[in-house]
Chains A and B, each alone.
Chain A
Amino acid sequence: MSLFKTRLFWIALGIVVIASTLPLYVSGYILGLLTVAYYFGVFAMSWDLLFGFAGEVNFGPTFLIGVGAYTAGIINHEYGLSVYLCIFIGAMASVIAGFVLALPALRVRGPYFGLTTLVAVLMLQNFIVVFADLTGGEIGLTIPDVITINASANYWIALGFMSISAAVLYGLSQSPLGLVLQASGQDPVQAGALGFNIVKHKLFAFIVSAFFSGLAGAMLVFYFGTASVGTVVDVAVGVQVIVAAVLGGRRTVLGAALGAIFLIVAGEFLRPTGELATFIVSAVALLVVLFFPGGFLGAAMSREARS
């Protein structure tokens, strides 16, 4: 298989292997940080599949994440089903929500699509606050079960989950299907003229994106032991996902994960600067957007291509 011959595969494998040994020598605090970062990486990668390849700006990644997270949390809270079943149902709910959102939203283009998805987030947020008995409202929903309380195990689950998601999403983006998606994102008329059903392909991308977002959201909720608007639904979380993907390099899938890890780790390192931490991260991100529009991975790849 040609996959094993590419340099990227071996680099990625090497990084994952090194990352998986981290629990042996770093503190639980750093593990916890990276666990969250890995789930964020999945959010950013699923967003990049939609933006980088299907060419659709989804302003509401947290709609898909939030539906998955809250569905899983509520089912666990109300009916006490097993964690894994809840996560599965959460992911499925997110797929259905993605389908319902995408069908009408894909009829409109550009900023209108973005706005429809943004409004979906605001609606979800209002829904959660209004039906506070069911969802825990602004305080958040306490979830009785967690995947495990072992920090290392949580870390490995997150790492494994991110690696598998990355492999699937990256593989998808490089497959013939990914090419069609890319074509329909860049020139929908011509792609349609070549006989590809653009709406069907974009819908598929949306559903894949929804599946991974919902899955990651549900798992994150069972890691935190709580679901709250501030962690999985708020527009600010969605912004962070988008910034992570653009920062890491759009249309690279893997770059999005790097961007997410960078954002979360950088935010933590800058904690001593207090309130200025967010300012510095945003400023760095703005500089990257202005001067290295390809993002981290984009810049690295173009250098390699030149040499």
Chain B
Amino acid sequence: MLALQILIDGFAISALYALGATGFTLIFGVSGVLNLSHGAIMVLAAVAAWAASSILHVNNYIGATIGVATALVASLITYFAVVQPIQRSRRIPNEEKEIFVLTGTLLWGIMIQELIAYFFTNNAKTVLPIVEGVVEILGVRTPQNEIFTALVCCLVIALLWLLVNRTRMGKAVLAASMNPRGVTLLGLELTNIYVVVWAIYGILAGIAGVLLGMFLGVSSYSVGPLTASAFSIVVLGGLGSVSGSLIAAFVVGYLETLTAYLVSPAYRTIPALLLLVAVMYIRPQGLLGRR
């Protein structure tokens, strides 16, 4: 009974983590950018969805769409206003661009977080779920919303896989992650590919954020922990490896759920951190990463 409960709850959390981390790792894989405003964009999506349905009283589906669209816009602004100027700047030496992108996106994330706190306060917000009610799965009472979350996450990840592996545009993205110069030589505009990747990222982060808002609720305090958890999942799986982060998301999700149920919710994040440290020391490139 408890085992089944852990299995179900863990799956929903893990799927959500996987969705959040996929976009993050995609951007790193393709353009080498670690986007530290990730958590802020997720929270922004959730808050936008919450504001649309709770203040403007629109239909829940439209609210969720507004949330995802907001994340998409925020993600493109991040690219055009923060990341691209740094990458193109002549005054920043190439070997230091990484730290500037990190600092820049971090500051941008703090700005989003503070604006959310200013306009919508720091209180936790729960987005009205699209599906309501509970069902019994083999005797475990499960909110339908939880099942919905897990299903949507799996569906979106499957769509992403199709997009990357089965379409022309996806193949260009994949090629850019392997050899940017080669892609340029083939006559593809690298900037266009980056814009596509950031758009995909925005949609993924938006969906993850809105689902998180329905499932657990968010507040502007969740920004830091969300970025940190995406970062550690991605490193655990291997920077830039999408399948690695999927596996890592499930490892982390289940570890946290197991700890929360069997030991104490207070120690929830500790085993995952210990695992991360162990992986860093034994296999620094992560589970499926390339050196």
Contacts and interface: CB of A to CB of B under 8 A. Distances in A.
Contacts of B239: 111-112
Interface residues of A, number: 40
Contact of B82 (A51, A107, A243, A286): A286
Interface in B198-251: 224, 228, 231-232, 235, 239
A119 B273 CA distance: 7
Interface stretch (A205-213, A223-231, A272-280): A272-280
Contacts of A51: 99
B188 interface: no
A239 B227 CA distance: 13
Contacts of B82: 286, 290
B92 interface: yes
Interface of B, secondary structure class, is: helix
Contacts of B89: 290, 293
B114 A279 contact: yes
Given A57-B102, A112-B284, A293-B92, A276 B107 contact: no
Contact of A115 (B86, B91, B104, B280): B280
Interface of A, secondary structure class, is: helix
Given A111-B98, A115-B280, A286 B118 contact: no
A119 B107 contact: no
B3 interface: no
A123 interface: yes
B36 to A, nearest CB: 9
Contacts of A123: 273-274, 277
A50 to B, nearest CB: 12
B270 interface: yes
B224 A236 contact: yes
Interface in B90-119: 91-92, 95-96, 98-100, 102-104, 106-108, 110-111, 114-115, 117-118
Interface string A114-126: 1110110011001
Interface of B: 34, 82, 85-86, 89, 91-92, 95-96, 98-100, 102-104, 106-108, 110-111, 114-115, 117-118, 224, 228, 231-232, 235, 239, 266-267, 269-270, 273-274, 276-277, 280-281, 284-285
Interface of A: 51, 55, 57, 104-105, 107-108, 110-112, 114-116, 118-119, 122-123, 126, 129-130, 186, 235-236, 239, 242-243, 246, 250, 275-276, 278-279, 282-283, 285-286, 289-290, 293-294
